[in-house]
Chain A
Amino acid sequence: MSKKVKKRLITILLSVLVLLIATLLITINLRDNIIYFYSPSELQETTINKRNIIRVGGLVKDGSYKYNDKTKIYSFVITDNSNEVNVSFVGIIPNLFAENKGVVVEGLAIDNVNFTALKVLAKHDENYMPPEVIEALKQEGQWQEE
């Protein structure tokens, strides 16, 4: 092997190595920062990892939205009309939050039916339904096309 070819070979091998390591790091990082979405029914069947941030979505159950003046905690129930999740939240509830409307919350599951929300995701308009919520309702056979 001539000196030039050798030099080029080393350069190529080194760059491949660097690329591989970078890709590996990025992929691991991606895996660690994925936020999974669950419908209330899916949450029932999942083994809960209390440290993972997840999203839960569905409809806000009629009559379930409450505010505790002393603890300053909002609570409401998310339902896909088959199963329910109790959600508690401290912070600002978005303007468009309402009972019987779709909602997505992000936070930590305490167990299969209780959830601490860190964010209640704001949506742009009243008729907007998050695609995951539609999907979750469809899976439970609860979705009606308007």
Chain B
Amino acid sequence: MTIGNFGNLLMLICLLASFTQLLYLLPKKIDIDYRVLSRAPFFASLLAFTLLIYIFVSSDFNYQLVVNNSHSEKPLIYKIAGAWGNHEGSLLLWILVLTIFNFIFSYSKIKHVDFKKNVMAFQSLMIFGFTLFLLFTSNPFLETEITVNEGLGLNPVLQDLLLAIHPPILYVGYVGYSLVLSFAVGGMISNKVDREWAEWLHPWVLIAWIFLTLGIGLGSFWAYYELGWGGYWFWDPVENASLMPWLAGTALFHCVIILKKKNILQSWTILLSILTFSLSLIGTFLVRSGILNSVHTFASDPARGLFILIFLAIILIISFTLYAFRGPALDNKNEMNLVSKESGILANNWLLLSTLFVVFLGTLYPLGTDLFLQKSISVGPKYYILSLLPITILLLLAMIVGPSAKWQNDKILNIILSINKLFILSLAIIFGFSIYFAELQLTQITLLTLCLTLIFISIKNGLRVNQDYTIIKSSLGQSLAHIGFGLLILSVVGNATFAQEKIFQAKVNDTLILDDHVFKFNSVEQTEGKNFNAITATFYLMDNKTILDTFEPEIRVYSNPPTVTSETSIIRKFLADIYVVMNIPENSDFVNVRIHIKPLISFIWLSVILMVVGGISAIVFRVKLTR
């Protein structure tokens, strides 16, 4: 039996084993241990995925996928990453992650067996659907019809260590929300959507969120240094596709917190669960179908998009039918007070969903005009910036006020008293900065002051102590993540305000001046890399006669496939990055050099790390329900 046949057999096992799980959805109970068969898809897809990596590593050109995406001279790590750097492989990875979640969940200590079975059955339905998709439209183990001795290679832009780990992390995030949807469906079938349900769901919804946050952060980090455009976020459809489930997922876990604490908002939480995973699917659909004209579109095929759409439709029909019958009855009739922590969280929900609406419209509108009016358009970044500005201001306000309010009922005066000092301090700092360093406009002052207030308030909230002077650990996660968010917006605004950029046409020995930075163009050399030839230039950042830093931007010429890329050279300083990228126009005796001064970039990455660490500590220190 060839490896390919074995791989196909494994996927067939995965398909059948997940199908047997569907039987639990039938009203009549079947009396076998539900956990045993549920684990089969996991082992099958894990082994299949290992086989796929093996044929990539061994450069087995009997397989179409290896021929299309690999090359024998490629470094080992990119051979491995090549396994999921394409549609078929990434779909197998998607299935593997679906089964991993089901596998781990099968060990959870939930005593409500009926609910647990329903969750696993619905998760298996998704495994079944995607495996069907894989076997019929995107078989990774397809053999070549003719003998091939060498592969076509992997797009050099994708030959990057970060990009090797970026998709798996992002997928854990996307697919993590599948289990959340299974929770929602299982909860509705078993009529079990209450505080206990929220407690079970809490860690899962956070795990998905952590991975999605990290995945988006890594993607942004990669785009920053690899694409060489000096930006870290382009409002590109593919980026937006990952941002949309993030926004919905963020709203969702805040809701889960209220449900767990106050036993309200059941049906709203269910709706958000459905919405979040649907957006994960839409994200996958947008990226994989190739209907988007994106700078990120690498591997795509319109025919495959159709399956994801049908699958999405099935999921939505099932969830909403259930919701129509069960949803309204789920809600407790507990009333909510306007001035309370829960209404603060609800306000945050609406603002996050407004952001989602803006992003959704901007991403999907060009698609609509292309499909229905046959007119190609794109939406400029200004749309997002202008639309999101007021929402962000309100969101920051809600994040400042919300956590300072008490559950159930509070007085507006109390809240104002608890935040006013820190607000005034922040305002003074920003005003001082504006007067002594650089003049700021009103919107910038507003945003920066609110960010700073949020950071201060969150630090204060994080440092709250118990009676025995130990830190209250349960609010640590929230505090860290909120500091992260405040820092993120602060850095984004600061970066946009103070970034500098200049293009030079330079010859060797030229001196390039940007603001108070002086660069000397020292040399140009030909160098050779593992699987490319490169032209490397050397620039010195000078202080009078001394060399402070050396920049070595490169132009790489890859032969498999033939591609030219510019490699950036970035030196990270505490307050700002210096970013140098060059290229050489045809038939010219000079090089084009673009130098950026990018303030606060390191703080953007730091803010992502803070949010991730916040998420982790929110799982570790989560409050247990008292029974």
Q: Could you tell me which A residues sit within 8 Å of B by CB distance?
A: 22-23, 25-27, 29-30, 32-37, 53, 55, 65, 67, 72, 74, 91-96, 98, 121-127, 130-132, 135
Contacts and interface: CB of A to CB of B under 8 A. Distances in A.
Nearest to A57: B376
Nearest to A136: B376
A146 to B, nearest CB: 14
Nearest to B556: A95
Interface residues of B, number: 39
Interface string B203-227: 0000000000000000000000001
Interface in B348-405: 354, 357-358, 361-362, 365-366, 375-380, 382-383, 386-387
A126 B562 contact: yes
Contacts of A121: 295
Given A35-B377, A95-B555, A125 B155 contact: yes
> Which 5 interchain pairs have the tightest Cβ spacing?
A33-B383, A37-B376, A95-B564, A33-B380, A92-B592
A36 B369 CA distance: 11
A65 B229 CA distance: 23
A127 B382 CA distance: 31
A101 to B, nearest CB: 12
Contact of A125 (B227, B229, B354, B563): B563
B453 to A, nearest CB: 24
Contacts of A25: 387
Given A33-B382, A53-B380, 16 more contacts: A22-B354, A26-B361, A30-B383, A34-B377, A34-B379, A72-B505, A74-B585, A92-B503, A93-B592, A94-B583, A121-B295, A122-B227, A125-B155, A126-B564, A130-B293, A131-B293
Contacts, number: 90
A130 to B, nearest CB: 7
Nearest to A125: B563
B564 A30 contact: no
Given A125-B155, A125-B561, A126-B562, A30 B362 contact: yes
A122 B565 CA distance: 10
B380 A127 contact: no
A127 B561 contact: yes
A34 B295 contact: no
A29 B389 CA distance: 12
Nearest to B155: A125
Contact of A126 (B377, B383, B563, B583): B563
Contacts of B503: 91-92
A132 B293 contact: yes
